[in-house]
Amino acid sequence: MHRSTKTATAAIALIWASLYAQTAFAETSENAGNSEAGGDVADNGNAPAAQDGEETSRGDVIIVTARRRQETAQEVPLAISVIRGDSVESTGNFNVVKLQQLAPTLQVYTSNPRNTAVNIRGLGVPYGLTSDGFEQGVGIYVDDVYNARVAAATFDFLDVEQVEVLRGPQGTLYGKNTTAGAINITTNQPTFDFEGRAEVTVGNLNFRQAKAAISGPLSDTIAARIAVATTSRRGTIFNVTSDRYINEQDNLGLRGTLLFQPNDDLSVTLSGDYSKQNPECCGTVFVRVGRTQRALARQYEALAAAQGYSVVSRNPFDRLTDIDASLNAGNKIGGASFKVKWDVGPGTFTSISAWRFWDWKPENDRDFTGLSIVAKSQNPSQQNQYSQEFRYNYSGDAIDFVVGVFGFKQRIDTQGVEQQGINASRWNLTGALANNPAVLNGLTALNTQYLKSTSAALFGQLSWKITDALTIQPGIRINYDKKEGFYQRRVVDGAGVEISCFNPAPPAGSIRAAQCGVYQPQLSAPSVSDWNFSYDLNVNYKLAEDVLAYATYAKSFKTVGINQNGLPTDAAGNPILAAGVIKPESVNHFEVGLKTQLWDRKATFNLAAFRTDIKNYQATVTNGQLGVLRGYLANAGKVRSQGLEADLKIRPSDRFSAYANAAYTDAKYVRFVDAPCPPELAGGTTATAANPPSPPGTAGGFSPANCDISGQRLPGVSKWAISYGAEVNTPLTLFATEGQLYVGFDGNYRSGFSSNPSPSIYTNIEGYALSNYRVGFRSDNFEIYGWVRNVFDVNYFELLQVAPSNVGLVAGQLGDPRTVGATVKLSF
């Protein structure tokens, strides 16, 4: 847990005595205007804020970097949510996973840092086990640097200025192509005025969080900034087997930045960051058992009884588990970037060179029980990525444009170990072999794999102001991708003898045949390259000074993929090589929107309607058998996501503000005729013309080889998602310090959603609403407040998972219970 490191970091934060005390009610338009050029301005539908001086009476002005140039939020003709750093802190949303509580169209699901899905409007990456062989649909950018691994989403925000969530394809403005949207994170930059800030938070569950940053000049032309953040918390589930709490938090992050600015036309920035996590994570709790089509004696209840096993609790919200395998989510991520910005003539040239690494050391309990069925499940991997982007921005009276080139190279190496335990034979075999633990005990699959990925692109977008009111914005992207993979699985038995399952195949009913039914050796080396051309067109019209209407069409793609975790096999056990390559997705996106400011800009109301159609959708296909093939990619015929989004923010005075954001999302498979079957239709003898599929949940029945789930909802997407909040304050002098006493509230609601790639009656998650409160005092350089999150202690699931082997066991990951605490901030 590295408690000593965390204590030392907190002490450093206090010694620095620095804090960022600008809150959502005290941010000035002058500060917002100091955002780095090359970005967009977006409206803040999520975080109410006030401006000092003249702007206060006319609402706030927020500068963003979404379109690679400075402009206000309401001038940006696309759907975008902006959450400023102070609002991120005050609402307790300290990473992307938490951020979805403020941005309703953002969905983040994580069973561990590697198996994390970040989606917008239900699109982005397929739901289920992550494969290295495909790209993200939602790009995560930190200071213009693309983060290829979604594990970055699980780390704490570090000295963040603001976060922009852009919805819809962004490939003509960003280095790496993104088909569903982008999360653009901007950190605070070095200053030539000395400043510092620090904050310390304590709460129940032994929650401890400390953040600090210090910035200032080293000379007339060089400035530096150093930031540190640390978070620790006791786990929320008690494991009776290990006699300790699991699913804890244990994060440490460091960032350093040097700025060289010899004149107003040139700036050179060198940044480096390092973050690590080392929690005992990520375990599950028993949720329920559902009837599958496996023989009744081979389903969960009968198998558990035959081995004298009883789960510690059948009520998941007792927060008890008895999983027996070791757990770890060791996670290190970091890198360095070198950025040059040079005003050349009428435009700005920008170069961003970056290197990033990711080191992942997991240990999991893949059977979700206190039995030793899967004794080990460990797939550590190491990634290095290099990227280079050149971009030129031009702004004129009638024409603005951005043109850029992007290069990306990545390598990922993985060394996997999966091992069967002493209870595996009874769980997976039949007859006399099921009563012999030695058949499978110690059977081990050793997986070695690597991925080499190369990408290059030319992109650009033109903004032509035909009149003062009418603007047309076309954009194009030309993209090249190449992927080379290698996968080898070697299998050894409990005696350490390497086994072969082919040429010749072992006799049916033999011990070796039983072992080959669980782990089979395999070798594959898929390779593919592909060119893509995509484009978009935006037309926007100013109906009035504060009313902007826009319409967008985008033809986009997600690049070709490969199956990197092994391939499905034919009847003879040979890998199906044709399944090694996954077709690129073809995306057609339509969107119309209206952005308005009313009541002398004291109210903002934005509305967007969208439809996205994707052909050859890259879906995750899972296999119910232990160890044979955990998951692979395949193309679904077509999916569609459509819906409406509305953002409302009001600030009638300096003393009150409120916001409400709502999203209706209808996301479904339009055509997916050969999908994996849900558990209630899996596990039985494969159906034939003479023996058609049995009704769902028929023990010992006939199961279809695959299922047609056309027309069913995509997993992880709530039809309705709403976030809302308000804050009221009054002047107060405390200890001779003038400031404000304030009370704030924020909440969110999500309707029910499916938690399985193929919708199942056993994995639907009911809707829930969460409410958070805070009350405190703030001044220009000091703030103290108390907070309660999930104030009504709502019980809810973040994720449900179906156990392997079609035994009907469903395990889950729980949302946080009620948490309470206090935060102190200082600044100078």
User: From residue 47, how far is each of 71, 322, 726, 771 by CA, in Å?
Assistant: 18, 41, 9, 16
Maximum distance among all alpha carbons in the chain? 88
Measure the CA–CA gap between 697 and 681, rounded to whole angstroms.
6
User: From residue 236, how far is each of 282, 388, 549, 826 by CA, in Å?
Assistant: 11, 42, 47, 30
pLDDT of residue 7: 37
Residue 548 burial by CB count (10 A; 0-12/13-18/19+): exposed, middle or buried? buried
CATH classification code of 3-827: 2.40.170.20
Domain segments of the chain as ranges: 3-827
Measure the CA–CA gap between 764 and 750, rounded to whole angstroms.
13
pLDDT of residue 130: 66
Q: 650 is written with which tokens?
A: 């009001």
Measure the CA–CA gap between 203 and 441, rounded to whole angstroms.
44
DSSP assignments along 672-698, one per residue? -TTBPPPGGG-SSEEP-SSSPPPPTT-
User: From residue 480, how far is each of 132, 406, 530, 558, 584 by CA, in Å?
Assistant: 18, 10, 6, 11, 12
pLDDT of residue 290: 95
Under 8 Å between Cβ of 56 and 155? no
Measure the CA–CA gap between 367 and 690, rounded to whole angstroms.
35
Under 8 Å between Cβ of 557 and 533? no
- Find the DSSP H helices in 299-370: 300-306
pLDDT of residue 37: 30
Under 8 Å between Cβ of 123 and 614? yes
| Single-letter amino acid code for the residue at 771 | S
Helix (H, G, I), strand (E, B) or coil at 317: helix
pLDDT along the chain (828 residues), means of 10: 39 32 32 32 35 37 67 85 83 81 86 85 78 86 90 84 91 86 93 96 96 97 97 96 95 97 97 94 96 94 95 98 94 96 93 96 93 94 96 93 96 95 94 95 96 96 96 96 95 95 89 92 93 96 96 95 82 79 95 95 96 92 51 86 96 95 96 91 92 95 92 94 96 92 96 92 96 96 96 96 91 96 96
pLDDT of residue 267: 97
CA-nearest of 101, 69, 58, 66 to 82 is 66
In DSSP terms, 402 is beta-bridged to 393, 461
- Report the DSSP pairing between strands 285-289 and 809-814: antiparallel
pLDDT tens string 566-616: 777 776 777 888 888 999 999 999 999 999 999 999 999 999 999 999 999
pLDDT tens string 26-82: 333 333 333 333 333 333 333 333 333 333 334 456 666 666 667 777 888 999 988
Q: For residue 533, how many other CB atoms are within 10 A of its CB?
A: 10
